[in-house]
C-alpha cells in the first residue's frame, strides 16, 4: 500500500463533543451572528446582607463565562435602596467574591455612581411622553394595577403635560415632597397581560442618607429601571440573572429600547441554586443574629459564603459543587450532602492527617520507662506521600478517646477493654490491665502494658490485633476547644413551622472545651485545616481562635452515605 493510500485509509478520531449549557449556546449564537463581538458580564448584588451559597453560583457563572470567552467581568453594587444597605455588607461582599477567585480587576462599580445618568434618563422618558408623575399612594397604585385576570386602570395623572411632569419631577429631586407623596411612572400599557408592564414606578421619593452618596439625593430609582441602565452604561453584553426576573425582561428591554442605547444588553435567566434544609433568607438570618441564636452572619452553621469560609470550606470545593449542580432553566433542590461531598473530595489528599482526642481519658503504660519520650515518624497522609512525614512524641502517659475503652464491652467491640490487646496508631501494641474510677463510678484512668518489640504498630511474631486507636502524648499535648456542628434546622420537621418561624435544631452546636491535640498543631493559624484521624476535617476558627487558645470548627465528618447522582 502506498503512503498516499495509507493516509487515505487512516481513521480520524472524531472530536469529543463538549456539552454546552443553554447560556453558552445563546452566547455562541450571538457571537457567530455578530450581535456582539465580545462577552462582558457582571455580578450585581444589593448590599443589604451577606452573600450565600446561591450567590456563589451566580458569581462563578458570570466570572466563568467572561474567562471562557476572553471577555470582561464587572463587580457592581446595585445600591438603589438606602433603607437596608450598609458599608458592612459592601465590604463582606467584596471579600467573598475575592475569596472565590472572581477578579473584577479595575471594574468595581456602584449603581449610585450613575444616579445622575438615571435622572437624565428619566427626564428623557418624560420628554418622549413615556413617563409621568403620579399622585397615587402605593396602595392606590396596587389597586389601579388590576390582577392577573383583570386589566389595570389608567392613572388619573397619566395625561399631564410634558412641561408639568418635568417641573414636578424636578421638585421631587429638590425635596419638595414627602416620602410616598409622588412617584414617577413609566407610561407603557395598563392592559398588558404582564403586570410588570402596567406603568411601573421607576422613581420614588425617599429622604434617606445613602451609604455612598450621602444626602445628595432624596429620590431613588427602582431596581427594574436602574438595572438595565447600569448594564447599558457599562457595556454589559449578557445580563445573566435568576428566573424570578423572567417576567421583568420585557420591562428591561423596554427601558434600553426607549433610552436608545446603541448596544443594548441581553437579559438571560437561569434557575437558582436551592439547598435542602438550609436558611438563606436575609430576614431569617437577621433575626437569628439579633436574637443571639448564631454569633453573626458568618456563624459556621449558616450557608453564607462568609460562614462557609469560616467553617473551613474552600473556594475549590464550592466551584466543584456549582459545576456538579449545572446550569438549567428548571428550579430544583440539591442535597446539602453534595456540598459536603465536594469539600471531602477537595481536602482528603491535600491535608495532613493528625491526631486529636476530643473526649479524653488518660491511658498509663505501666511498663514504659518513666520520664522517657521518644519521637515516632508518622506519615502526614497515606494517600499523598508528597506531604511527607512528621515527628510525633510518645511517652508513658497518653490521652485516648473515652469511647475507645469499655470495661464490659459488647460483642464485636475490638477496642480497649481489660485483657484485650490493641494497636496505638503508629506506635506499639498495648494490652489493657484495668482502670481507675472515681466515687461516682466514672473511669478516670486506664492502665495497660506495651510490647517494646511492636514499635511502629507491628508485632515481630506476626500476631494480629483487630483494634487500632489514636492517641496524644499527655505531657506535650496542645489543649484546644473543638466545635461540632449539625444542621441548624431540624431536618425531620423541615425548615419552617406552621406560623412561618424556623424549626431550629437544639443540638446544632456542641462545644468541647478540653480536647488534646498533638504538638504539631501548635502555631496553627486562622483558616488552617486538617484531618483529625477518625474524626473528620477541621479548620481553625477565624473569629475566636488565638495562638495560645486554639478553637477548631468541624468542617465535615469523614464518611457519608451520599453518592453522586448518575
Domain boundary among 270, 301, 332: 270
DSSP tag of 12: P
Q: How confident is the model at residue 131 (pLDDT cuts 50, 70, 90)?
A: very high
Asked if residue 38 has pLDDT above 70, the reply is: yes
Query: Do 493 and 461 share a structural domain?
Result: no
Provide the pLDDT for residue 551.
Answer: 98
Cell 465580545 sits on residue = 38
Asked if residue 346 has pLDDT above 90, the reply is: yes
- Low-confidence winner among 52-66, 218-232, 325-339, 430-444 (lowest mean pLDDT): 325-339
What is the spatial distance between Cα 54 and Cα 219, in angstroms, rounded to a whole number? 31
Query: Do 118 and 28 share a structural domain?
Result: yes
Query: Do 480 and 380 share a structural domain?
Result: no
Q: Residue 256 domain-assigned?
A: yes
Query: Do 256 and 201 share a structural domain?
Result: yes
For the chain, give the mean pLDDT. 93
Query: Do 401 and 370 share a structural domain?
Result: yes
**Phi and psi angles of residue 138, each rounded to the nearest 5 degrees, phi first:** -60, -40
Provide the pLDDT for residue 13.
Answer: 45
Q: Which of 122, 159, 114 is nearest to 255 (CA)?
A: 122
Domain CATH code at residue 502: 2.40.240.10
Cell triple for residue 372?
Answer: 522517657
Give mean pLDDT, residues 454-465: 86
Q: How confident is the model at residue 565 (pLDDT cuts 50, 70, 90)?
A: low
Provide the pLDDT for residue 18.
Answer: 57
Q: How confident is the model at residue 490 (pLDDT cuts 50, 70, 90)?
A: confident
Intra-chain end-to-end CA distance of the chain, in Å: 46
Q: Residue 13 domain-assigned?
A: no
Provide the pLDDT for residue 562.
Answer: 64
Asked if residue 304 has pLDDT above 70, the reply is: yes
Q: Residue 14 domain-assigned?
A: no
Domain boundary among 214, 248, 270: 270
The contacts of residue 388 (CB under 8 Å, 6+ apart) are 379, 380
Domain containing 537: what range? 276-355+476-566
Query: Do 181 and 67 share a structural domain?
Result: yes
What is the spatial distance between Cα 512 and Cα 356, in angstroms, rounded to a whole number? 12
Q: How confident is the model at residue 502 (pLDDT cuts 50, 70, 90)?
A: confident
Q: What is the dihedral of CA 446, 451, 452, 455, to 10 degrees?
A: -90
Query: Do 335 and 370 share a structural domain?
Result: no
Query: Do 293 and 226 share a structural domain?
Result: no
Q: What is the pLDDT of residues 112-126, one digit of tens each?
A: 999 999 999 999 999
Q: Residue 189 domain-assigned?
A: yes
Provide the pLDDT for residue 374.
Answer: 96
Domain CATH code at residue 44: 3.40.50.620
Q: What's the Rg (C-alpha) of the chain? A: 32
Query: Do 194 and 281 share a structural domain?
Result: no
Query: Do 290 and 243 share a structural domain?
Result: no
**% the chain with pLDDT above 90:** 86
Q: What is the pLDDT of residues 196-211, one digit of tens each?
A: 999 999 999 999 999 9
Asked if residue 127 has pLDDT above 80, the reply is: yes
Domains in the chain, number: 3
Q: What is the pLDDT of residues 237-284, one digit of tens each?
A: 999 999 999 999 999 999 999 999 999 999 999 999 888 888 888 888
Q: Residue 16 domain-assigned?
A: no
Residue 148, SS3?
coil
Residue 365, SS3?
strand
Q: Residue 1 domain-assigned?
A: no
Query: Do 176 and 52 share a structural domain?
Result: yes
**% the chain with pLDDT above 70:** 95
Q: What is the pLDDT of residues 351-367, one digit of tens each?
A: 999 999 999 999 999 99
Asked if residue 467 has pLDDT above 80, the reply is: yes
DSSP tag of 257: H
Provide the pLDDT for residue 26.
Answer: 97
Q: What is the pLDDT of residues 376-395, one digit of tens each?
A: 999 999 999 999 999 999 99
Asked if 48 and 285 touch (Cβ cutoff 8 Å), the reply is no
Q: Which of 511, 512, 545, 516 is nearest to 528 (CA)?
A: 545
Q: How confident is the model at residue 561 (pLDDT cuts 50, 70, 90)?
A: low
Domain boundary among 270, 287, 304: 270
Provide the pLDDT for residue 460.
Answer: 80
Q: Residue 6 domain-assigned?
A: no
CA distances from 271 to 96, 164, 215, 331, 509 (A): 21, 43, 37, 5, 32
Asked if 554 and 510 touch (Cβ cutoff 8 Å), the reply is no
Query: Do 323 and 214 share a structural domain?
Result: no
CA distances from 403 to 99, 237, 526 (A): 39, 60, 29
CA distances from 334 to 57, 279, 313, 338 (A): 13, 14, 17, 7
What is the spatial distance between Cα 267 and Cα 380, in angstroms, rounded to a whole number? 50
Q: Residue 287 domain-assigned?
A: yes
Give mean pLDDT, residues 457-465: 84
Amino acid at each position: 500500500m502506498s503512503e498516499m493510500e495509507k493516509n487515505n485509509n487512516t481513521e480520524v478520531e472524531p472530536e469529543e463533543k463538549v456539552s454546552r449549557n443553554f447560556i453558552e449556546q445563546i452566547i455562541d449564537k450571538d457571537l457567530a451572528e455578530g450581535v456582539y463581538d465580545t462577552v462582558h458580564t457582571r455580578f450585581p448584588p444589593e448590599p443589604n446582607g451577606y452573600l450565600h451559597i446561591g450567590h456563589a453560583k451566580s458569581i462563578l457563572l458570570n466570572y466563568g463565562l467572561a474567562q471562557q470567552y476572553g471577555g470582561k467581568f464587572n463587580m457592581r453594587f446595585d445600591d438603589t435602596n438606602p433603607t437596608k444597605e450598609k458599608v458592612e455588607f459592601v465590604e463582606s461582599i467584596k471579600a467573598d467574591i475575592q475569596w472565590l477567585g472572581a477578579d473584577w480587576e479595575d471594574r468595581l462599580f456602584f449603581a449610585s455612581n450613575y444616579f445622575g445618568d438615571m435622572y437624565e434618563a428619566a427626564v428623557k422618558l418624560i420628554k418622549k411622553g413615556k413617563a409621568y408623575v403620579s399622585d397615587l399612594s402605593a396602595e392606590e397604585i396596587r389597586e389601579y394595577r388590576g390582577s392577573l385576570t383583570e386589566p389595570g386602570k389608567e392613572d388619573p395623572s397619566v395625561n399631564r403635560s410634558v412641561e408639568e411632569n418635568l417641573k414636578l419631577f424636578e421638585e421631587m429631586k429638590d425635596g419638595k415632597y414627602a416620602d410616598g407623596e409622588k412617584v414617577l411612572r413609566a407610561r407603557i400599557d395598563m392592559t398588558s397581560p404582564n403586570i410588570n408592564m402596567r406603568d411601573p414606578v421607576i422613581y420614588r421619593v425617599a429622604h434617606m442618607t445613602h451609604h455612598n452618596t450621602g444626602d445628595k439625593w432624596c429620590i431613588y430609582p427602582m431596581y427594574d429601571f436602574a438595572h438595565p441602565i447600569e448594564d447599558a452604561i457599562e457595556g454589559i453584553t449578557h445580563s445573566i440573572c435568576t428566573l424570578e426576573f423572567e417576567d421583568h425582561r420585557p420591562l428591561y428591554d423596554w427601558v434600553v429600547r426607549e433610552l436608545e442605547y446603541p448596544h443594548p444588553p441581553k437579559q438571560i435567566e437561569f434557575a437558582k441554586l436551592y439547598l435542602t434544609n438550609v436558611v438563606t433568607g436575609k430576614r431569617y438570618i437577621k433575626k437569628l443574629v439579633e436574637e443571639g441564636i448564631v454569633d453573626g452572619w458568618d456563624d459556621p452553621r449558616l450557608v453564607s459564603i462568609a460562614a462557609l469560609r469560616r467553617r473551613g470550606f474552600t473556594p475549590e470545593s464550592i466551584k466543584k459543587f456549582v459545576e456538579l449542580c449545572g446550569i438549567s432553566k428548571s428550579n430544583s433542590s440539591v442535597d446539602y450532602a453534595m456540598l459536603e461531598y465536594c469539600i471531602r473530595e477537595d481536602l482528603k489528599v491535600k491535608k495532613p492527617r493528625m491526631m486529636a482526642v476530643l473526649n479524653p481519658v488518660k491511658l498509663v503504660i505501666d511498663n514504659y520507662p518513666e520520664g522517657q519520650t521518644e519521637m515516632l515518624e508518622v506519615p502526614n497522609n497515606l494517600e499523598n506521600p508528597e506531604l511527607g512525614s512528621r515527628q510525633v512524641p510518645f511517652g508513658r502517659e497518653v490521652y485516648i478517646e473515652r469511647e475507645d475503652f469499655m470495661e464490659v464491652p459488647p460483642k464485636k467491640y475490638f477496642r480497649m477493654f481489660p485483657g484485650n490487646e490493641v494497636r496505638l496508631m503508629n506506635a506499639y501494641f498495648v494490652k489493657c490491665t484495668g482502670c481507675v474510677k472515681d466515687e461516682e463510678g466514672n473511669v478516670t484512668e486506664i492502665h495497660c502494658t506495651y510490647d517494646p518489640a511492636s514499635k511502629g504498630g507491628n508485632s515481630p511474631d506476626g500476631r494480629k490485633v483487630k483494634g487500632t486507636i489514636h492517641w496524644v502524648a499527655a505531657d506535650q499535648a496542645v489543649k484546644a476547644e473543638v466545635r461540632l456542628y449539625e444542621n441548624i434546622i431540624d431536618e425531620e420537621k423541615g425548615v419552617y413551622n406552621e406560623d412561618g418561624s424556623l424549626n431550629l435544631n437544639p443540638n446544632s452546636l456542641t462545644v468541647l472545651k478540653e480536647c488534646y491535640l498533638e504538638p504539631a498543631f501548635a502555631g496553627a493559624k486562622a483558616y488552617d485545616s486538617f484531618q483529625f484521624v477518625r474524626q473528620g476535617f477541621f479548620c481553625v476558627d477565624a473569629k475566636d481562635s488565638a495562638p495560645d487558645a486554639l478553637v477548631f470548627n468541624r468542617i465535615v465528618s469523614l464518611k457519608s452515605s451520599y453518592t453522586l447522582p448518575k
